[in-house]
Amino acid sequence: MERGNVLVIGNSGVGKSTLINSVLGDEMAKTGFGSSGTTEKLDIYESEEFPFRIIDTVGFEQSLVKQFKAINAVKKWSKDSIKDGKENTKINLIWFCIDGTSSKLFPETIKNLSRATAMWKTVPIIVVITKSYSVPERAENKKMVYNAFAKQKKYSKNLKHTIPVVASTYVLNNTAFAPPEGITELIGTTNELMPEGIKAGENDVYKFKLKRKKALAQSVVGFSTTSAVTVAAIPVPFSDALLLGPIELAQIKALAQIYEIDKSKESKKFINSIVEVGTVSVAAKGAISSLKAIPGINIAASVLNAIIAGAIVAAIGEGSIYVFEKIYTGEKSIEDIEWVKNVMESKLSSQFIENVTEVVEKMAKTGNTKNVGEIINWLLPLKIKAKV
């Protein structure tokens, strides 16, 4: 099947590579597709499962000369490949990347990008607002994009969507972070805007999105676990519950949002039941005392604390991914509160304590308990299976 081509354009540093990486995942590959000589200005990516080719304009900068070179590379790539009898290399869609942290520059940047892409007169455009960490600013930023485009008379009709994204988790401090957002929306919208014949099947896109959601969700769990370990390892005059609560909540909220379960009234009840089981879990508290009672264990209290905190946050994260995915795929109903409680409880039950105990014992044997990074390495492979 023919692959559609997505041209990614935007100034250096705006986040194009980060975005492409987040969309395609680890299995993406740079291809040598296209003739030599052009690829130094272009990076062309494909992935087995993603139905489109992504063309990254490397070295596109404010300078007109550099923009011209980058665009010329795209032109040459299209022409040369057609000449060589290769696959279709027509640009089907453009992602205009603009930096969400400098919205004052939107009008200027959009003017520049429109000029640079003027040769693709009727190709649809999605404006991707990258680094869109500030949620309250998103609505205003979208409006600014719309207004800036309205001034580009010839191309204003090409603007089809504006999507704010966070391509990879942005960490503000130990307890606050902006999770990935907008990535699967961008994937879905991209497919919708592809011409018939190139458009991927709904089912393929759905499967791909599901896989990406999982990967993004797991990265959120990784960050949250790291935060918990870091916070719990440092002695501070606050109780652990006070410090870990916000991390657990931020994690669940981010995961719910990735699985699009953050909108309805029913979702509130559903999410609350996860929070309740997670934070008030008697089993998790039991883990603490049982670990301290392991004979012959010689690990500093702060390290033990950090392990337990990290393990609890990781288990809540794993459990949330499991239930949110089942809701997203329609295998389970959001009204099934008993089910979600059971899953979460099983994640933090005796099996959980056994797993954590095993980690602690292994760590104690190696004496390898010096820093947060090492603790994380011990914890993250720890998958607490739900038996529901």
Ligand X SMILES: Nc1nc2c(ncn2[C@@H]2O[C@H](COP(=O)(O)OP(=O)(O)O)[C@@H](O)[C@H]2O)c(=O)[nH]1
Select 18 or 342, whichever has its Cβ closest to ligand X. Answer: 18
Residue of the chain from 6, 9, 14, 360 that contacts ligand X (CB under 6 A): 14
Encoded one letter per residue, x for contact with Mg ion by CB under 5 A and - for no contact, window 212-251 reads ----------------------------------------
Query: Site residues for ligand X, window 22-81 (CB under 6 A)?
Result: none
Is 17 a residue that touches Mg ion (CB under 5 A)?
yes
The residues pairing with 47 across neighbouring beta strands, listed in sequence order, are none
CB of 55 to ligand X, least distance (A): 13
**Nearest residue to 96 via CA among 77, 117, 75:** 117
Select 131 or 347, whichever has its Cβ closest to ligand X. Answer: 131
Applying CB under 6 A, which part among 134-142, 166-174, 251-259, 291-299 lies near ligand X? 166-174
Select 12 or 88, whichever has its Cβ closest to ligand X. Answer: 12
Is 167 a residue that touches ligand X (CB under 6 A)?
yes
The residues pairing with 98 across neighbouring beta strands, listed in sequence order, are 129
Is 138 a residue that touches ligand X (CB under 6 A)?
no
Q: What share of the chain is helix, strand, coil (3-state, %, to 5)?
A: 55, 10, 35
Q: Which of Mg ion, ligand X, none lies near 131, with the C-beta cut-off 5 to 8 A by kind?
A: ligand X
Q: Could you tell me the two tokens for 71? A: 């665009």
Select 17 or 219, whichever has its Cβ closest to Mg ion. Answer: 17
Q: Which of Mg ion, ligand X, none lies near 145, with the C-beta cut-off 5 to 8 A by kind?
A: none
Applying CB under 6 A, which part among 146-154, 160-168, 295-303, 342-350 lies near ligand X? 160-168
Q: Which of ligand X, Mg ion, none lies near 167, with the C-beta cut-off 5 to 8 A by kind?
A: ligand X
Residue of the chain from 131, 138, 213, 332 that contacts ligand X (CB under 6 A): 131
Beta strands in the chain (DSSP E): 4-9, 29-30, 42-46, 52-57, 93-99, 125-130, 159-164, 170-171, 177-178
Closest-by-Cβ residue to Mg ion is: 17
**Sign of the alpha-carbon torsion through 177, 183, 184, 186:** positive
Select 105 or 275, whichever has its Cβ closest to ligand X. Answer: 105
Q: Could you tell me the two tokens for 130? A: 């990258």
DSSP letters for 301-359: HHHHHHHHHHHHHHHHHHHHHHHHHHHHTTSS-TT-HHHHHHHHHHHTSHHHHHHHHHH
Q: What one-letter code names the amino acid at 294?
A: I
Residue of the chain from 3, 16, 53, 332 that contacts ligand X (CB under 6 A): 16
CB of 61 to ligand X, least distance (A): 9
Is 18 a residue that touches ligand X (CB under 6 A)?
yes
Alpha-carbon distance 60 to 69, whole Å?
Answer: 8
Is 244 a residue that touches ligand X (CB under 6 A)?
no
Which residues lie below 8 Å from residue 223, measured CB to CB, with a gap of 6+?
A: 169, 171, 177, 179
**CA end-to-end span of the chain:** 40
CB of 58 to Mg ion, least distance (A): 6
Is 206 a residue that touches ligand X (CB under 6 A)?
no
Is 18 a residue that touches Mg ion (CB under 5 A)?
no
**Sign of the alpha-carbon torsion through 54, 56, 57, 61:** positive
Alpha-carbon distance 327 to 269, whole Å?
Answer: 14
Binding site for Mg ion (CB under 5 A): 16-17
Binding site for ligand X (CB under 6 A): 10, 12-18, 130-131, 166-168, 170
